[in-house]
Chains A and B, each alone.
Chain A
Amino acid sequence: MSNKVKSSKRKRSRRSTFPTLYLAILTVLTYVPIAVVVVYSFNESKISSVWSGLSLRWYKELFRDPDMFRALLMSVLLGVSSCLIAAVIATLAAIGLPRAKLPGRKLVEYLSSLPIIIPEIVLGMVFLVYFSLLNLPFGMTTLIIAHTSFCIPYIYMQVKARLIGLDESYYEAARDLGASSIRAFFDITLPLIMPAVISGMFLSFAMSFDDVIISVFVTGVSTDTLPIKVYTQLKTSTTPKINALCTLMLVVTVFCYVMSYVFSRIGRRNMKTQKEREHKEAIRKA
Chain B
Amino acid sequence: MSWLPCGLYHEHYREDHAWWQTTFVKGKMLLLAIFAIVILPYLDLVAPDLGPYLLNIAVILLYTILAASGVQLLIGYCGQVTLGHAAYVAIGAYTCCLVLMHGPALAAMTNDPNPIVRTLAALFSLLMKAGLLYPAGIILAGLAAGLWCVIFGLPSAKVKGFYLIMTTIAGQWITVEFFITQYVSQIGGRQQAFTVLPEHFTIGPFTIDSDRKIYYLGLALVGLVVAVTANLLRSKPGRAWIAIRDNDIAAEAMGVNIVAYKLLAFFVAGAMGGLAGVYWLNFNYIISPEHFQWFWSLWWVGVILIGGVGSIQGTIFGSMFMVLVMEGLKALIVPLSGAFPELLDKFLFIKEALFGLAIALFLIYEPNGLAYRWWQLKNYFNLWPFSY
Specify whether A and B are partners: no
